[in-house]
Amino acid sequence: MASELVVAVAGATGAVGREMLKTLEMRNFPATKVIPLASSRSVGKTVPYKGQELPVSELKEDSFQGVHLALFSAGGGTSKTFAPHAAKAGCIVVDNSSAWRMDPEVPLVVPEVNPDHLDNHKGIIANPNCSTIQMVVALKPIHDAARIKRVVVSTYQAVSGTGQKAIDELDGQVRAMYNNRDIPVNVYAHRIAFNCLPHIDRFLDDGYTFEEEKMMLETKKIMGDDSIRVTATTVRVPVFYGHSEAVNIETERKLTAAEARDILSKAPGIVVMDDPSNNEYPMALTAAGQDPVFVGRIREDRSLENGLDIWVVADNIRKGAALNAVQIAEILLQKKLLG
Ligand code: A2P
């Protein structure tokens, strides 16, 4: 590794950006300098890193001179505008937005699933959608063992996936309700407190949402198999941290629940929690603040010849965003593609 490794975090004041800084610190990422970037609104603010308060600079086209790695989580439009400038300056971008994910020139990577896709990067690497990341970590070992034909997934997604303003909105709505005040509704189309919204991201012409389409298309790209059919229903629930997913899987070869449990418990990045007799199964509360993808409720689907039902939970800000991005950077270092 070169002696210098300068890392920028674009969107450093946001929910994911702050977690990126925390993750770099917690995993002892060998950055020699960390530069937090955000909009002009945040100039004058600081963000914590390794016991210090780092001043936030404005993200600009020329922010990336001398920067080796940039972790972006500042929205799709910002990534579309600034990631090419970063790449042109010789910086490797790991982008958490949906802006580049389906670009055939851009690897879309989950380290437990397709680290080899990093080998041909051209300066921009995409971090997948949060719900997709945790699902493919669980699907990959099952696909390797029994070939997946079709997946039907329903999600229960935390508000932190929308960003800090949504965390504040759920908190504000609950407080307003208990204090008999008017309930502010700004972030989502409807109240999220004590409600479930079958609406994440915008609606498409055929009735799916863009979030559902992301899960359907990104899964094929990450798994490197266009033949896997996926349908998704994505739902926002009043949970702060941790996405949960009910995943139904149809395979070519039969896997018993015991076989699936064994395969999943040996797979990288997964913790199996599956003891219904003791009320043991993963929950959002289990995953919040944790790194692994938790899998439970593993059972054979009574309605299919070769079918499994599983329940997959992970911290959407960690494995679903910041941790996955930092793991990508760690693999770039291992492969000597960075620094
Ligand atoms: P800022 O705090 O200055 O608005 P979240 O997903 O939690 O809402 O966070 C979004 C992050 O993206 C924040 O750090 C935000 O900075 C940053 N951001 C949003 N728009 C821009 C922009 N046009 N240029 C730079 N950073 C941006």
Could you report the per-residue pLDDT of 256-270, keeping only the tens digit for each?
A: 999 999 999 999 999
Question: CA end-to-end span of the chain, whole Å?
Answer: 5
Q: What is the pLDDT of residue 252?
A: 98
With a 6 Å cutoff on the Cβ, whether 60 touches ligand 1 is no
Given ligand 1 and candidates 78, 129, 160, 240, which is best to mutate, with the most ligand atoms within 8 Å of its CB? Answer: 78
Of all protein residues, the one whose alpha carbon is nearest to atom 2 of ligand 1 is: 13
Q: Is the dihedral of CA 56, 111, 244, 188 positive or negative?
A: positive
Given ligand 1 and candidates 9, 13, 20, which is best to mutate, with the most ligand atoms within 8 Å of its CB? Answer: 13
Q: What is the pLDDT of residue 3?
A: 82
Ligand 1 atom closest to the Cα of residue 13 is: 14
Of all protein residues, the one whose alpha carbon is nearest to atom 24 of ligand 1 is: 39
- What is the rounded distance in angstroms from the CA atom of residue 42 to the CA atom of residue 37? 9
Q: Give the global pTM.
A: 0.98
**How much distance in Å is there from the Cα of 74 to the middle of ligand 1?**
5
Taking 50 as the pLDDT cut, the residues of the chain under it are none
Beta-carbon contacts of residue 238 (< 8 Å; ≥ 6 apart): 159, 170, 192, 193, 194, 195, 196
Q: Give CATH for domain 6-127+321-334.
A: 3.40.50.720
With a 6 Å cutoff on the Cβ, whether 36 touches ligand 1 is no
**How much distance in Å is there from the Cα of 127 to the middle of ligand 1?**
17
3-state secondary structure 32-66: CEEEEEECHHHECEEEEECCEEEECEECCCCCCCC
Catalytic residue among 91, 117, 121, 130: 130
Burial class (CB in 10 A: 0-12, 13-18, 19+), 199: middle
Contact between 98 and 288 under an 8 Å Cβ cutoff? The reply is no
Segments making up each domain of the chain, as ranges: 6-127+321-334, 132-316
With a 6 Å cutoff on the Cβ, whether 164 touches ligand 1 is yes
To the query of whether residue 130 is one of the catalytic residues in this protein, the response is yes
To the query of whether residue 196 is one of the catalytic residues in this protein, the response is no
Q: What is the pLDDT of residue 2?
A: 56
Give me the DSSP letters along 135-179: HHHHHHHHHHHH-EEEEEEEEEE-GGGG-HHHHHHHHHHHHHHHT
Ligand 1 atom closest to the Cα of residue 164 is: 7
pLDDT digits (tens, 9 = 90+) for 283-335: 999 999 999 999 999 999 999 999 999 999 999 999 999 999 999 999 999 99
Contact between 23 and 86 under an 8 Å Cβ cutoff? The reply is no
Q: For residue 246, what are the β-bridge partners? A: 154, 311
Angle between helical axes of 323-334 and 15-26 (0-180°, round to 10): 40
Q: Give CATH for domain 132-316.
A: 3.30.360.10
With a 6 Å cutoff on the Cβ, whether 15 touches ligand 1 is yes
Q: What is the pLDDT of residue 339?
A: 83
Ligand 1 atom closest to the Cα of residue 162 is: 6
With a 6 Å cutoff on the Cβ, whether 263 touches ligand 1 is no
C-alpha dihedral (208, 224, 327, 281), degrees to nearest 10? 60
Domains 6-127+321-334 and 132-316 share a fold: no
